[in-house]
Structure 1
Amino acid sequence: MDSTNNYALAQIHANLARPGTCYFAHEQTTGKGQRGKSWATEKDANITMTVVLTPSFLQLFQLFQLSACVAVATYYFLSKYAGASMAIKWPNDLYWRNNKIAGILIENVIGKRKKGPTTWNWAVIGIGVNVNQTKFPTAIKNAGSLKQITGNEFDTVALGKELCECLDQTYKKLMNEGFETIHSEYGNLLYKKNEIVKFKRLNRVFAATVKNVNESGQLVIEHGIEERLDFGEVEWVL
């Protein structure tokens, strides 16, 4: 298929989707990444899947709570195989040291009312994990995979099921216990936390210390002053 997110969205619009369903592809021809980027993947080599949820207990302004929930769940899944060198790179990539192992893309189906707030009808959660792939396009400079880290070949379908279980557990924690614990976990697992890194904003590169991510999903940095960055405002320079 072209994209598991596209397929899931089509199922939703055809009234065929059920909350909690996972769509898994052995081959994805035009996978989606953040900010319009593509997700390159070999046939039968990786996890390319989408889970659809109806987060009725959240409002749209709380979207980061779901994003952090998915990132934390994916971290715990990956750390079983890749160890403590895994980290969450703000806002929603998973890195092993300086190599990107997984990415998350959440798309939303919004409902409009004549009166009252806009409703968040569906969250379409795309997760891509590099599992057995060892060669990547030259344009992708920092990709890595579980096979490269461990030297082992994996059953991608079995891993996909395991990832779904991790997501289910973390989602239930968010639903039943609130965001405080997951937000704390996200902050503790933050890539380059308390380290000085370079960012690019427009055409200017600057150095800053990564401090945390607040409950709204803004990255908190320090470079003489404390600043809060919205998603898409800067690029990491690695």
Structure 2
Amino acid sequence: MPFIELQTVDSTNNYAFSQIHAGLAQHGTAIFAHEQTAGRGQRGKKWVSPVGSAIALSLVIKPAPLALTRQFQLSACIAVSVLEWFKTYAGENVKIKWPNDLYWKDRKAGGILIESLVNSPESLVRSQEPTVGSWQWAVIGIGVNINQDSFPPDLPNPVSLRQITGQRFDTVEMAKELCIVFDRWFERLIREGFESIYEKYISSLYKRNEKVKLKKGSRVFEATVKSVSTDGKLIIVHGVEEEVDFGAVTWMPDA
């Protein structure tokens, strides 16, 4: 797996897409930045990583033979990979918050943003949630808090591996370890199918079988997190059972 190490970049995902458009991308390439100045999380949230504080990493993947309809399988695969790697340092209190945030107890340790390049009838389109076209490339952006002592006050519930363990870590070596773990799980997905990854994902689901507060439109309500469907919808129970797409509901801060 080629490993590109950058000192500073606006976004490792942006760099990855520039490599793809220039015809320089290889399947399995990992792009690591010591400093990321304009990283993005889900729903366009900003994710900045000062020098040496975090893992800011993008993986360039040729998703074939996965079809576009199997996007959640790749999402779950990387979430399980990050979970298993992080647990070796942080212990068993690590969960996946739907769809693919990394949580330690009730605090966020990291997140994942997958962007795809899809060959639509008109052109190549970069999108987080493509629905039509031929899936050409996937760029998996991973951000994990490693060495931070503190965080900006506007972040509600962050945690770093240093805060969990009391130790400092080499972020480059940690990123390389994570790449190896992902490579193993991705090979399993292609070779054996989704079942074992899906089972691991569900067994590691944050707040599973617990009540949480959710917001849908202007309505705030309580629901029990039951599971996640094989195509990535959150299954909740609030009088009735309902499957919701990512973006349709918002987790409230005390959830």
Give per-residue Cα distances to partners, 1:196-237, cap 9 Å, x unaligned: 111111121100110100101000010110000100001111
Query: What amino acid is aligned across from residue 37 of structure 1 in structure 2?
Result: K
Is 1:220 the counterpart of 2:235 in the alignment? yes
Q: Are residues 1:172 and 2:180 paired?
A: no
Q: Which whole-Å deviations, capped at 9, do the CAs of 1:19-51 have from their partners, x for residues lacking one?
A: 100000000000111011111322111100100
The secondary structure found in structure 1 opposite 2:154 is coil
Aligned to 1:191: 206
Alignment check: 8 A CA contact 1:42 1:133 kept = no
SS at match of 1:221: strand
Q: Pick the aligned partner of 2:72 from 47, 64, 68.
A: 64
Correspondence for 2:88 among 80, 84, 102: 80
1:6, distance to aligned residue in structure 2 (A)? 0.2
CA RMSD between the two structures: 1.1
Amino acid at match of 1:124: V
- For 2:101, the equivalent position in structure 1 comes to 93
- Structure 2 distance, partners of 1:84, 1:228, is 28
> 1:38-57 residue pairs with structure 2 within 5 A?
38-57=46-65
**Per-residue deviation, 1:93:** 0.2
- Tell me, in whole angstroms, the C-alpha distance in 1 between the residues paired with 2:240 and 2:73: 26
Q: Which sections of structure 1, spanning at least 5 residues, go unmatched?
A: none
Is the Cα–Cα contact under 8 Å of residues 24 and 50 in structure 1 kept in the other structure? yes
Correspondence list, 1:133-172, <5 A: 133-172=148-187
Amino acid at match of 1:6: N
Match of 1:202 among 210, 213, 217: 217
Distance 2:149 2:19 in 1: 33
2:117 counterpart (109, 124, 144): 109
Equivalent pair of 1:209/1:223 in contact (CA under 8 Å): yes
TM-score by length of 2: 0.91
Counterpart residue number, 1:17: 25
- Count the aligned residue pairs: 236
- Could you tell me which amino acid in structure 2 is paired with residue 197 of structure 1? V
Return the letter of the residue paired with 1:8.
A
Q: Secondary structure at the match of 2:235?
A: strand
1:28 paired with 2:43, answer: no
Post-superposition CA distance 1:145-177 (Å, at most 9, x none): 000000000010010000001100000010000
Q: Following the alignment from structure 2 to structure 1, what is the Cα–Cα distance between the partners of residues 148 and 217?
A: 33
User: Which of 109, 118, 122 is the aligned partner of 2:137?
Assistant: 122
Question: How far does the alpha carbon of each residue in 1:128-151 deviate from its partner, in whole angstroms, 9 at most, with x for none?
Answer: 000001211111010100000000
Please state whether the residue corresponding to 2:64 is helix, strand or coil.
coil
For normalisation by structure 1, the TM-score amounts to 0.97
Q: Distance in 2 between matches of 1:126 and 1:75?
A: 15
